[in-house]
Amino acid sequence: MNRATPLLENGYSYHGIPVMHVLYLLLILIAPFAGVDLLLVLSLGVFLVLRFSGRQLSCSRDAVSLSFSLSLMLFVSAISKGLPYTFPFYIVLAAFAVAAVGNHITFFSERGFTADFESEKSRRRQRRFSIMWSSIFLALRIIAAFLAASWIVYWQKLPIPYNFIFFIAVIGAVTGSLFESIPSKIDRNIPVPLGAGMTMWIFEEFRYWVPPEKMLVALIFSLFLGAMAYRAKIADVSALLSASLLGVLIIVFSGLPWFLLLLTFFILGGGFTRYKYAYKESIGIAQAKDGIRSYENVFSNSTAALALAVAYGVFPEYSTPIIFAYMGTVATATGDTLASEIGTTAKGKPRMITTLKLSEPGADGAVSSLGELAAIFGSAIIGVLGYALGISSDFLLSVLITTAGGFFGTNIDSLLGATLQKRGLLSNSGVNFAATFAGAGVSAGIYLLVSGF
């Protein structure tokens, strides 16, 4: 006689029926009628039962973490009522739905290849399979977030357009999947819903959206390019999703040419990382993981670009200085990458930017003539492309201001590396983050001086 299956085993019931998912669905269904306060009490009750009766129920850690995240978001929503920036109830449920769809299973993490996949062809097939199912799973998260938020909006008769709900559902689903792809010791059902919820809340305050068809085109295009980078071993899964999120936001707030300009940085950076890679590896200065970029690299070099692209859509009255600032920040990221990847292969030793003393190749703050020329070259390419793509209407200003911003931003990066990074006050990502904002400021400042404000 077979032993009976426990009522809840890893979140599943007898015969594999997902009991926890049924509970999640019930919470969403009663949410508009229960309201924030009552649902907070219920979710806290669920969390306490699962947390302290977990052994008897054989309940998974996922369910405990997710119920805790829901309780925390509901608490923030409850205490922010009446304040200027209320955490909307419908966003809480949308973020919860993003995580609940993914509970007990993940598609957004790197998968190791077993001995069964011996040939390179088999490995490529497995890689394609992962991308395909991850895309389908992302679509399910978007649908779940949209339906959960729409359910609240409909029954509570909130004056919120469904086009806007779809807009933030896409942002929340991609953000949640990105947080799931980032390696962490924290259970994913804490950063996924909280990350998705906070990001949707930020864009909820803008109340800016585009038609669903434009949003879908932007998402598909961004995912496609990210998948190509992943297949080309330029990016890992977290970088794929980071670039997709950046792509969606930049395209909808400022346009496709803006994203193509940023994409130029990623292509040039990935390409020149492979330049004399064996030599750079032999002297210990090559990029780790064969030059494959992660989310950290994407965001440290592109956060300024994202902020400026969003500002362009939200504040059109300041569009021209924002345009030059955007080209300056992309030029800084490009110039710095080319200066590092090409400059370290120069004959002879570089010099420290602060003292001009000879230094070892690859040292923080070390510069060379070849690296400086590479920075100018990379920055100038961004200026030329900015004009060619129609972002800037003045060729001479585009090239000169962008090149200046990229060149100064690259050297600010070196200066920060020689000072704050060497002292352990900033990481390499922190230096890139600060330098790209500095490059944006230099380009915008030069434009304002030339134009006479």
Residue 211, number of CB atoms within 10 A of its CB = 12
Residue 418 CA, distance from chain mean position: 28
Confidence band, pLDDT 50/70/90 cuts, at residue 7: very low
The Cα diameter of the chain in Å comes to: 88
Distance CA 247, CA 253 (A): 10
Closest CA to 413 of 349, 358, 333: 333
Which residues is 293 bridged to in the sheet?
A: 235
Question: Is residue 235 helix, strand or coil?
Answer: strand
Sign of the torsion angle spanned by Cα atoms 432, 433, 434, 437 = positive
- Quote the CA–CA distance of 394 and 387 in Å, as a whole number: 7
Cβ neighbors of 160 (< 8 A, separation 6 or more) are 90, 153
Q: What is the mean pLDDT of residues 234-260?
A: 89
pLDDT at 372: 93
Phi-psi region at 24: left, alpha or beta (left = phi > 0; alpha = psi -120 to 50): alpha
Q: Tell me, what DSSP letter sits at residue 4?
A: P
The predicted model gives 366-372 an average pLDDT of 90
Contact 241, 176 (CB under 8 A): no
Q: What sign does the CA torsion over 206, 212, 213, 215 have? A: positive
pLDDT reading at 54 higher than 90:
no
Q: How confident is the model at residue 388 (pLDDT cuts 50, 70, 90)?
A: very high
CA distances from 23 to 29, 40, 138, 216, 302 (A): 10, 15, 22, 31, 39
Q: Three-state SS string across 15-26, please?
A: HHCCHHHHHHHH
Q: What's the pLDDT score for residue 145? A: 96
Q: Which two tokens stand for residue 155?
A: 């029954």
The Cα–Cα gap between 176 and 196 comes to 5
Report in angstroms the alpha-carbon separations of 142 from 34, 135, 296, 357: 24, 11, 24, 55
Q: Does the pLDDT value for residue 64 go beyond 90?
A: no
Bridge partner residues of 235 (DSSP): 293
What percent of the residues of the chain are helix, what percent strand, and what percent coil, each to the nearest 5? Answer: 70, 0, 25
Phi, psi at 9, each rounded to 5°: -125, 110
Predicted confidence at residue 384, as pLDDT, reads 97
Among 349, 321, 337, which Cα is nearest to 406's?
337
Structure-model confidence comparison of residues 326 and 101, the more confident one: 326
The Cα–Cα gap between 355 and 414 comes to 12
pLDDT for residue 347 is more than 90: no
Mind giving me the DSSP string for 29-91? Answer: HHHHHHHHHHHHHHHHHHHHHHHHSHHHHT--HHHHHHHHHHHHHHHHHHHTTTSSS---HHH
Q: What angle do CA 405, 407, 408 make, to 5 degrees?
A: 65
What pLDDT score was predicted for residue 60? Answer: 65
pLDDT value at position 274? 66
Mean pLDDT of 354-366: 85
Q: Give dist(CA 449, CA 441) in Å, integer.
A: 12
Confidence label for 124 from pLDDT (cuts 50, 70 and 90): very low
Per-residue pLDDT, 289? 58
Distances, alpha carbon 391 to alpha carbons 210, 310, 321, 324, in Å: 20, 15, 12, 9
CA–CA separation, 189 and 100 (whole Å): 8
